[in-house]
Amino acid sequence: MLRDKEADGLPEQTDSMTCSELEVSEDVTDSCEQSSCSVMTDMTVNSVNDLERECDKLREENLKMKQELKNLKTIDNFLNDIKKVCYFTGLPSIETVRAIFDYISPHVPNSRSVLPAFQQFVMVLMKLRLNADSLLSSLFNVHVSTVTRYFQKWIDVMVWMLKPLVKWPDHEQLYQTMPGSLEKISVNVLL
């Protein structure tokens, strides 16, 4: 025989109830004792409260992760636009960015990081191109000091790894292409 829950004084449960809406009250306990119903659980009010707190904590974590995912998608959208890649990094294509990253990244020390290594590298390229720490901080959702820390970590390795790729003109070529305003200065000073 089915019993009417409201007649027993028990709240009717709905699928849309949240953890914070669930309450264990003395009325429910009293009505169960009066109607000789039994509960098949070892849960106490404290354990229910613990579950509520855990549920709220997981909700907050879920929202935070959704925001992080949204930020990742923003960076990925930026990297799919060739004009934006060229403007923000100074490199001609995302393939070039990835090739340089693949060449350099094995030599960058691993540390606990908020951003994945590729995003750190893109951030460093953007800083070299634009020098806009506040913009990068907002775009990558990190603190300005984190932008600086990533920059210092990557730039040391980039100098070491990319130095052989930079060809400086010899002394004679430098002298021939020197602007007229610098002709009065000794060539040795320029080198």
Q: Is residue 20 part of a domain?
A: no
Q: What pLDDT band is residue 180 in, cutting at 50, 70 and 90?
A: confident
pLDDT of residue 1: 43
Q: Is residue 152 part of a domain?
A: yes
CB atoms within 10 A of CB 8: 13
Maximum distance among all Cα pairs of the chain, rounded to whole angstroms: 107
> What number is the average pLDDT over the span 50-78?
79
> What number is the average pLDDT over the span 161-189?
77
Nearest to 155 by CA among 119, 115, 106, 104: 104
Question: Which residues contact residue 164 at a Cβ distance below 8 angstroms, ignoring those fewer than 6 apart?
Answer: none
Q: Is residue 191 part of a domain?
A: no
> What number is the average pLDDT over the span 20-44?
56
> What number is the average pLDDT over the span 96-124?
90
Q: Is residue 118 part of a domain?
A: yes
> What number is the average pLDDT over the span 51-73?
81
Q: What pLDDT band is residue 20 in, cutting at 50, 70 and 90?
A: very low
pLDDT of residue 3: 45
Maximum average pLDDT range among 70-74, 100-104, 180-184: 100-104
**Amino acid of residue 80:** N
Whether pLDDT at 152 is above 50 = yes
What single DSSP character describes residue 108? S
What single DSSP character describes residue 115? S
Nearest to 24 by CA among 41, 49, 4, 55: 49
Q: What pLDDT band is residue 4 in, cutting at 50, 70 and 90?
A: very low
pTM of the complete model beyond 0.75: no
Q: Is residue 49 part of a domain?
A: no
In the chain, % of residues over pLDDT 90: 27
Q: Is residue 110 part of a domain?
A: yes
Q: Is residue 172 part of a domain?
A: no
Domain membership of residue 136 as a residue range: 80-165
For the stretch 119-146, pLDDT in tens is 899 999 999 998 989 888 888 888 999 9
Query: Which token pair is 137?
Result: 């901080």
Q: What are phi and psi of 130, to 5 degrees?
A: -110, -25
> How many domains, the chain?
1
